[in-house]
C-alpha cells in the first residue's frame, strides 16, 4: 500500500509532462505517437488515484525504449513492432491494477464489498435499515416541528436585541404619554416603534372576498425587525399622515391565495373593508407571523395613533443587554416619578421579544421530544442488537479470512463500511419518512401549534445536517463494536462454530433490558395520555352537540347598521326555513371578568380567587332550546327578558352555589363590581362550551339580547354536515360579498377543543406501538440467538432423555427474566419522568396505577409472543442433527 503513495509523492517533483518529454515532442515518430496514444487510452481505466503516476511511468519507459533504438539509426520495422507490443502490454497492467484496487480505488472496493455483503443478508439488512429509519425519521420529524415552533430564533435581524416595552408587568401595552417618554431614550433604544395587533380585515375588489389578519405598524417597524419586502417597497415616513395612509403590504400567503403570486399586484387598488388601498409591496414568506399573531396584511399606522394604548417593540442599542437596559430605564423612571408624578406611577418593563407559544403547547412539544428520544434510543439498540447477532454468526468467516492472511485493518474497514452503509441507507429512508412525518404532524396538529411557526415549517438544511450527523454517529457506534470484534478474530477460531463470549451475551442482555425499560416508559406515557383522553371525551359538555351546525360569518362592514340588521333578519328567515333545520339561534363570543367582586342583594360580597374567571355569553331567546341545554331550575329567556335588556341572567349551578350555598338562586338579584343589578331567572348544569379541558368555564352566566352578533347555530333533524352547502348558497344569494369564516358541525367544534390532547395521544400511541414492536423483535432475536448458541446443549439434553417440560422453563425463563427486569426498570423510570406529563393530564394523576399495569402487562405479553418462535425451534431440536451441527 505504501509504495504507490510514496511514489506519487516523489512523482509530483518529477513533473514529467512539463519538461517537454511528452508524446508530442520533436523526436517522437508515428510509432511512438501510436504507443503513447494507446497508453493514454488505457490510462482512463486505471483507478483514479494511481492514474497520473501510471501514465508517467509508461510514458517514460516507452520514451526510454524509443531513445535506445533511435539513438543513432533509423529504427527497424521490428523494433517499431516491439515497441507497440510493449505498449499493448500496458493493458494487462491496467487489469492487474484494477484487480488490486477496484474500480474507484480503495473506497470503491470497500463500498462494493459492503454492498455485496449487505445483499447477501437481505433479511437482516432490511430489519436494521427499517429500524434505524423509523427511529431517525420520527426523530427528525419531531425535531423539525420542535425547531420550527420553539428552538429556531425569531426570523428577525439580531432578534436577541429586540424587546417588548410595556407599562405594566405582564401587560403588553403602553399609553401615549409613556410611549413618548420611553421611545426617546436614545441611550437605550436604537429604534422603537408601536404597532397595533391584528384585527380582521376583509379584502375585496376584483378578488374573492377574504378575511386577513390586518396589522397596523408605524413606518420603520418592519425595517427595525430587518424585514424587507420581496416585491415593492416598505412604508415611507410620510405614509403615516392621514390621507397618505391608504397603502397596504401583502403577506406571502395572501399574495399566493388571493393573487396567485402575480408580480403585477404592485400599484393595484383593492378594497380593505370599505376603503380603497393601494398595494405597495409583498412581505417575504419567512414573515409569517409577529409575536401576537399571524400576519395577512400590513397597513401604516396614522399619526397620531387612533389607539390610546399600544404595544411597542424596540431594538436595544448594539452591545446593550436587557439587564443593563432595564437598569438605565429604572433610573429614568425614578427621576420621572419625582419630577412629573403620575397617579398610577410611571412603569416600564422590558422583556426580550418572545414567541408567545402557550405553556401547555410548549410542554406537549417537550413531551414529544422526550418520547422521540427514547424511540430513537430503542431503534439504535435494536439495530445494534441485530448486528451483534450477525457479528457473532460471522465470526468463523472473519477468523478464516484472518487465517488466510486478510489483514486486521482490512477486515475492520470492511465491517465498518457495512455498518456505515446500512446507517446511510437508513438515513436516506429516514429523511423520506421524516418528510412524510412532518406533513402528517402538521396535518394532525391542533391549530394552536400550527399558528405559532413564524416561518413555514419544512425540513431544511439544519435538520438535514442533524439527521446525517445522527446517521453517521449511529453507524459509528454500532459499527465499531462488531468491527472491533471481527478484527480480533483469530486463526484458532476459524474451524470452530460461532460462539459469543459470556461477557458479550451479558452486554447484549443489558442493552435488551434497557430497551425494554424504555418501551415500558413509552407505553406508560401513552397509557396515561390515553386514559386522560378517555376522561376528556366522557365529560358531559352540558349541551347536545349532535345535529348542530355552527356558522361563523366574517366581519363585513356595510353602509349602515340598518343594512346589517336587514341582512341578518333575512338570513335568519332563510336559514330557519331550510329543509331539515329545526332551530336557529345566535350567541356572542364570550367575554370574561378577572379579579371581580360579586355583590348580593343583602350587601354581602364574594370575591372569587383571581384564577376563577367569570365567563359570560350573550344569547337570544332560542339559545337554550336549540343548544339542548336543560334548565335545572327556573326558565330560559323569553321575549320580555330581551326587551328589558340585561336585567335577567341564566347562570350555571356552580356560580349559583358559590353565591347562595344551599339555597335556590332563581329570583335572586346580584351584581358584578358596580355594574347594574341583574335577576337570576334560570339555572343550568355545567356547560362546557370551550370543551371539557377549559379551566375557565366553571363560573359562567348568560345575558339575553335580541340582536346578538356572533355564531349562528342551527339544529337539524339529520346529518348537519349535509346542510353546509345549502348554508353557503343561502349566504351567497343574500350577499355575494359576505365572507364565511367557518361552518362546522357541533361534534367537530367539540372535537377541536380536545385537538391538542388528541394530537399528543396519537403520536404517543404510534411511538409506543413501534417501541413495543421493536422491543419484541429485540427479545426475539436475542432469545433465538441464545437458543441457536445452545442447540448442541439442548440436543444433548433431549438425547439424554430430558423432556420438553424440563427445557421450556430454561428457555422461557431467561427471556422472561429479562422482560421483568426491563419492566421494573421502566416502571421506575416512568414514575420519575411522568411528572412532566402532569400538565397534559385531565382528571388523572401521573401516578395512575392502571396505566403502569397496562404498560407492563402489554410488554410481558409481547415478550411471551416473541419467545414462542425460538421456543418452538428449541423443542424441535433433533438431537442427532444438533450433535452433528458443529
Taking the least distance from each CB to other proteins, the nearer of 53 and 245 is 53
Identify the residue whose cell numbers are 512523482: 11
Q: Which stretch binds other proteins (CB under 8 A): 53-61, 178-186, 573-581, 715-723?
A: 53-61
41 forms part of the interface with other proteins (CB under 8 A): no
Distance CA 421, CA 426 (A): 8
Distance CA 396, CA 497 (A): 6
Taking the least distance from each CB to other proteins, the nearer of 85 and 334 is 85
In angstroms, give the least distance from the CB of 96 to other proteins: 3
Distance CA 150, CA 365 (A): 9
Name residues contacting other proteins, limited to 689-728 (CB under 8 A): none
Residue spans of alpha helices (H) in 459-560: 461-487, 502-537
Q: Which stretch binds other proteins (CB under 8 A): 59-67, 377-385, 626-634, 846-854?
A: 59-67
Taking the least distance from each CB to other proteins, the nearer of 96 and 605 is 96
Provide the sign of the torsion angle of the four alpha carbons 794, 800, 803, 805, taken in this order: negative
In angstroms, give the least distance from the CB of 61 to other proteins: 5
Cβ partners under 8 Å of residue 77, min gap 6: none
State which H helix or E strand residue 435 sits in: helix 408-444
Provide the sign of the torsion angle of the four alpha carbons 687, 690, 692, 694, taken in this order: negative
Q: Which stretch binds other proteins (CB under 8 A): 52-60, 277-285, 385-393, 797-805?
A: 52-60
Using alpha carbons, select from 708, 714, 749, 707 the residue that is nearest to residue 731.
714
647 forms part of the interface with other proteins (CB under 8 A): no
In angstroms, give the least distance from the CB of 490 to other proteins: 22
In angstroms, give the least distance from the CB of 90 to other proteins: 7
In angstroms, give the least distance from the CB of 46 to other proteins: 11
Extract the C-alpha cell encoding 555: 366581519
Taking the least distance from each CB to other proteins, the nearer of 72 and 344 is 72
Taking the least distance from each CB to other proteins, the nearer of 4 and 710 is 4
In angstroms, give the least distance from the CB of 54 to other proteins: 10
Taking the least distance from each CB to other proteins, the nearer of 60 and 337 is 60
Taking the least distance from each CB to other proteins, the nearer of 55 and 239 is 55
Taking the least distance from each CB to other proteins, the nearer of 86 and 558 is 86
Q: Give the number of residues in contact with other proteins, rule: CB under 8 A.
A: 36
DSSP for 104-136, written as a single string: THHHHHHHHHHHHHHHHSHHHHHHHHHHHHHHH
Between 181 and 220, how does the x/- string for binding to other proteins read (CB under 8 A)?
----------------------------------------
Beta strands 173-175; 247-250: pairing state: unpaired
Q: Which stretch binds other proteins (CB under 8 A): 1-9, 288-296, 464-472, 505-513?
A: 1-9
Q: Which stretch binds other proteins (CB under 8 A): 7-15, 301-309, 630-638, 657-665?
A: 7-15
Alpha-carbon distances of 743 from 19, 141, 451, 469, 738, rounded to whole Å: 84, 31, 20, 46, 14
Between 761 and 800, how does the x/- string for binding to other proteins read (CB under 8 A)?
----------------------------------------
Residue pair 841/751 in contact by the 8 Å Cβ criterion: no
In angstroms, give the least distance from the CB of 411 to other proteins: 17
Distance CA 229, CA 865 (A): 61
Taking the least distance from each CB to other proteins, the nearer of 19 and 561 is 19
Identify the residue whose cell numbers are 520495422: 77
DSSP-assigned letter for residue 228: -
Q: Which stretch binds other proteins (CB under 8 A): 8-16, 132-140, 686-694, 701-709?
A: 8-16
- The dihedrals phi and psi of 848, each to the nearest 5 degrees, come to -50, 115
Residue spans of alpha helices (H) in 445-460: 447-450
Residue pair 601/668 in contact by the 8 Å Cβ criterion: yes
Between 64 and 93, how does the x/- string for binding to other proteins read (CB under 8 A)?
xx-x--------------x--xx-xxxxxx
Taking the least distance from each CB to other proteins, the nearer of 76 and 115 is 76
Q: Which stretch binds other proteins (CB under 8 A): 57-65, 711-719, 748-756, 813-821?
A: 57-65
Single residue of 33, 37, 40, 96 touching other proteins by CB under 8 A: 96
Between 9 and 28, how does the x/- string for binding to other proteins read (CB under 8 A)?
-xx-xxxx--x-x-------
Extract the C-alpha cell encoding 617: 355569553
408 forms part of the interface with other proteins (CB under 8 A): no
In angstroms, give the least distance from the CB of 42 to other proteins: 11
In angstroms, give the least distance from the CB of 143 to other proteins: 46
Taking the least distance from each CB to other proteins, the nearer of 6 and 675 is 6
Taking the least distance from each CB to other proteins, the nearer of 3 and 260 is 3
Using alpha carbons, select from 689, 696, 699, 639 the residue that is nearest to residue 665.
699
Name residues contacting other proteins, limited to 819-878 (CB under 8 A): none
Helix (H, G, I), strand (E, B) or coil at 877: coil
DSSP for 719-769, written as a single string: -GGGGHHHHHHHHHHH-TT--EEEEEEHHHHHHHHTHHHHHHHHHHHHHHH
Single residue of 3, 26, 123, 695 touching other proteins by CB under 8 A: 3
CA 402 to chain centre: 48
461 forms part of the interface with other proteins (CB under 8 A): no
User: Is 242 exposed, middle or buried, given 0-12, 13-18 or 19+ CB atoms closer than 10 A?
Assistant: exposed
817 forms part of the interface with other proteins (CB under 8 A): no
Extract the C-alpha cell encoding 537: 371525551
In angstroms, give the least distance from the CB of 400 to other proteins: 18
DSSP-assigned letter for residue 492: G
Cβ partners under 8 Å of residue 462, min gap 6: 147
Provide the sign of the torsion angle of the four alpha carbons 386, 387, 389, 394, taken in this order: positive
Q: Which stretch binds other proteins (CB under 8 A): 51-59, 251-259, 464-472, 557-565?
A: 51-59
Polymer length in residues for the chain = 886
Taking the least distance from each CB to other proteins, the nearer of 73 and 559 is 73
Identify the residue whose cell numbers are 437596559: 325
Taking the least distance from each CB to other proteins, the nearer of 1 and 168 is 1
356-374 CB burial, b ≥16 within 10 A, e <16: ebeeebbbbbebbbbbbeb
Single residue of 4, 232, 293, 360 touching other proteins by CB under 8 A: 4
In angstroms, give the least distance from the CB of 49 to other proteins: 14
Rounded (5°) CA angle 688-693-698: 50
Extract the C-alpha cell encoding 231: 416585491
In angstroms, give the least distance from the CB of 421 to other proteins: 25
Taking the least distance from each CB to other proteins, the nearer of 74 and 338 is 74
2 forms part of the interface with other proteins (CB under 8 A): yes
Q: For the chain, state the CA radius of gyration.
A: 39
User: Is 639 exposed, middle or buried, given 0-12, 13-18 or 19+ CB atoms closer than 10 A?
Assistant: exposed
395 forms part of the interface with other proteins (CB under 8 A): no
In angstroms, give the least distance from the CB of 499 to other proteins: 32
In angstroms, give the least distance from the CB of 41 to other proteins: 16
Q: Which residues bind other proteins (CB under 8 A)?
A: 1-4, 6-7, 10-11, 13-16, 19, 21, 56-57, 59-61, 63-65, 67, 82, 85-86, 88-93, 95-97, 100
Amino acid at each position: 500500500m505504501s509504495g504507490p503513495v510514496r511514489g506519487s509523492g516523489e512523482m509530483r517533483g518529477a513533473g514529467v509532462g512539463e519538461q517537454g518529454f511528452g508524446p508530442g515532442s520533436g523526436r517522437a515518430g508515428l510509432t511512438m505517437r501510436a504507443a503513447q496514444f494507446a497508453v493514454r487510452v488505457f490510462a482512463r481505466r486505471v483507478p483514479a488515484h494511481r492514474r497520473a503516476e501510471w501514465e508517467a511511468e509508461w510514458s517514460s519507459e516507452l520514451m526510454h525504449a524509443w531513445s535506445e533504438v533511435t539513438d543513432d539509426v533509423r529504427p527497424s520495422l521490428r523494433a517499431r513492432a516491439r515497441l507497440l507490443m510493449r505498449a499493448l502490454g500496458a493493458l494487462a497492467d491496467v487489469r492487474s491494477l484494477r484487480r488490486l484496487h477496484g474500480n474507484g480505488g480503495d473506497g470503491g472496493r470497500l463500498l462494493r464489498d459492503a454492498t455485496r455483503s449487505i445483499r447477501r443478508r437481505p433479511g437482516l439488512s432490511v430489519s436494521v435499515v427499517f429500524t434505524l429509519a423509523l427511529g431517525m425519521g420520527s426523530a427528525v420529524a419531531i425535531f423539525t416541528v420542535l425547531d420550527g415552533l420553539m428552538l429556531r430564533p425569531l426570523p428577525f435581524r439580531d432578534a436577541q436585541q429586540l424587546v417588548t416595552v410595556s407599562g405594566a408587568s405582564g401587560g403588553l401595552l403602553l399609553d401615549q404619554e409613556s410611549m413618548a417618554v420611553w421611545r426617546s431614550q436614545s441611550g437605550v433604544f436604537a429604534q422603537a416603534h408601536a404597532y397595533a395587533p391584528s384585527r380582521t380585515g376583509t379584502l375585496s375588489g376584483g378578488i374573492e372576498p377574504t378575511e386577513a389578519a390586518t396589522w397596523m405598524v408605524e413606518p420603520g417597524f418592519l425595517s427595525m425587525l430587518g424585514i424587507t419586502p420581496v416585491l415593492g417597497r416598505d412604508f415611507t415616513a410620510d405614509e403615516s399622515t392621514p390621507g397618505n395612509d391608504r397603502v397596504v403590504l401583502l403577506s406571502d400567503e395572501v399574495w399566493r391565495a388571493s393573487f396567485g403570486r402575480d408580480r403585477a399586484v404592485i400599484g393595484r387598488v383593492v378594497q380593505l373593508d370599505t376603503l380603497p388601498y393601494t398595494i405597495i409591496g409583498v412581505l417575504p414568506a419567512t414573515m409569517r407571523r409577529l409575536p401576537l399573531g399571524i400576519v395577512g396584511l400590513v397597513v401604516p399606522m396614522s399619526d397620531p395613533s387612533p389607539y390610546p394604548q399600544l404595544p411597542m417593540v424596540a431594538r436595544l442599542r448594539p452591545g446593550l443587554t436587557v439587564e443593563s437596559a432595564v437598569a438605565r430605564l429604572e433610573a429614568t423612571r425614578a427621576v420621572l416619578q419625582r419630577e412629573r408624578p403620575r397617579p398610577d406611577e410611571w412603569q416600564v418593563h422590558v422583556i426580550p421579544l418572545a414567541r408567545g407559544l402557550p405553556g401547555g403547547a410548549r410542554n406537549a412539544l417537550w413531551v414529544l421530544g422526550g418520547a422521540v428520544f427514547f424511540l430513537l434510543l430503542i431503534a439504535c439498540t435494536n439495530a445494534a442488537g441485530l448486528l451483534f447477532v450477525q457479528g457473532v454468526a460471522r465470526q468463523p468467516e472473519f477468523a478464516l479470512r484472518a487465517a488466510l492472511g486478510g489483514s486486521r485493518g482490512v477486515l475492520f474497514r470492511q465491517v465498518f463500511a457495512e455498518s456505515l452503509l446500512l446507517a446511510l441507507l437508513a438515513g436516506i429512508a429516514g429523511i423520506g419518512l421524516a418528510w412524510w412525518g412532518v406533513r402528517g404532524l402538521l396535518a394532525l396538529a391542533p391549530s394552536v401549534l400550527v399558528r405559532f411557526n413564524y416561518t413555514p415549517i419544512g425540513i431544511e438544511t439544519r435538520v438535514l445536517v442533524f439527521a446525517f450527523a445522527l446517521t453517521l454517529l449511529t453507524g459509528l457506534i454500532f459499527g465499531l463494536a462488531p468491527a472491533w470484534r471481527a478484527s480480533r478474530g483469530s486463526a484458532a477460531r476459524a474451524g470452530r462454530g460461532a460462539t459469543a463470549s459470556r461477557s458479550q451475551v451479558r452486554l447484549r442482555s443489558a442493552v435488551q433490558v434497557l430497551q425494554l425499560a424504555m418501551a415500558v416508559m413509552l407505553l406508560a406515557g401513552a397509557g396515561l395520555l390515553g386514559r386522560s383522553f378517555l376522561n376528556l371525551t366522557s365529560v358531559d359538555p352540558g349541551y347536545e352537540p349532535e345535529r348542530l351546525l355552527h356558522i361563523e360569518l366574517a366581519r363585513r362592514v356595510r353602509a349602515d347598521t340598518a343594512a346589517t340588521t336587514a341582512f341578518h333578519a333575512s338570513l335568519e328567515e332563510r336559514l330557519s326555513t331550510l329543509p331539515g333545520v329545526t332551530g336557529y339561534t345566535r350567541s356572542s363570543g364570550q367575554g370574561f371578568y378577572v379579579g371581580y367582586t360579586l355583590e348580593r342583594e343583602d350587601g354581602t360580597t364574594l370575591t372569587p380567587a383571581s384564577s376563577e374567571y367569570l365567563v359570560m355569553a350573550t344569547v337570544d331567546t332560542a339559545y337554550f332550546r336549540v343548544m339542548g341545554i336543560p334548565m335545572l331550575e327556573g326558565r330560559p329567556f323569553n321575549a320580555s327578558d330581551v326587551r328589558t335588556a340585561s336585567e335577567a341572567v341564566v347562570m350555571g349551578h356552580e356560580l349559583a352555589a358559590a353565591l347562595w350555598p344551599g339555597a335556590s338562586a332563581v329570583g335572586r338579584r346580584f351584581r358584578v363590581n358596580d355594574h347594574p343589578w341583574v335577576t337570576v331567572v334560570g339555572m343550568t348544569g355545567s356547560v362546557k362550551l370551550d370543551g371539557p379541558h377549559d379551566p375557565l368555564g366553571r363560573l359562567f352566566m348568560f345575558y339575553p339580547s335580541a340582536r346578538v352578533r356572533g355564531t349562528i347555530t342551527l339544529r337539524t333533524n339529520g346529518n348537519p354536515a349535509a346542510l353546509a352547502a345549502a348554508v353557503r348558497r343561502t349566504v351567497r344569494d343574500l350577499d355575494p360579498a359576505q365572507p364565511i369564516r367557518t361552518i362546522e358541525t357541533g361534534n367537530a367544534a367539540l372535537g377541536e377543543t380536545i385537538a391538542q390532547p388528541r394530537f399528543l395521544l396519537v403520536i404517543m400511541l404510534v411511538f409506543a406501538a413501534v417501541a413495543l414492536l421493536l422491543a419484541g423483535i429485540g427479545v426475539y432475536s436475542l432469545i433465538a440467538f441464545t437458543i441457536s448458541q445452545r442447540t448442541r446443549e439442548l440436543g444433548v439434553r433431549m438425547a439424554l432423555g430430558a423432556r420438553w417440560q424440563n427445557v421450556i422453563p430454561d428457555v422461557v425463563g431467561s427471556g422472561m427474566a429479562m422482560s421483568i427486569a426491563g419492566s421494573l426498570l421502566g416502571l421506575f423510570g416512568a414514575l420519575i419522568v411522568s411528572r412532566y406529563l402532569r400538565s397534559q393530564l385531565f382528571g388523572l394523576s401521573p401516578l395512575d396505577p392502571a396505566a403502569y399495569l397496562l404498560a407492563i402487562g402489554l410488554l410481558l405479553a409481547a415478550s411471551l409472543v416473541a419467545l414462542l418462535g425460538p421456543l418452538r425451534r428449541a423443542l424441535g431440536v433433533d438431537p442427532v442433527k444438533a450433535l452433528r451441527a458443529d
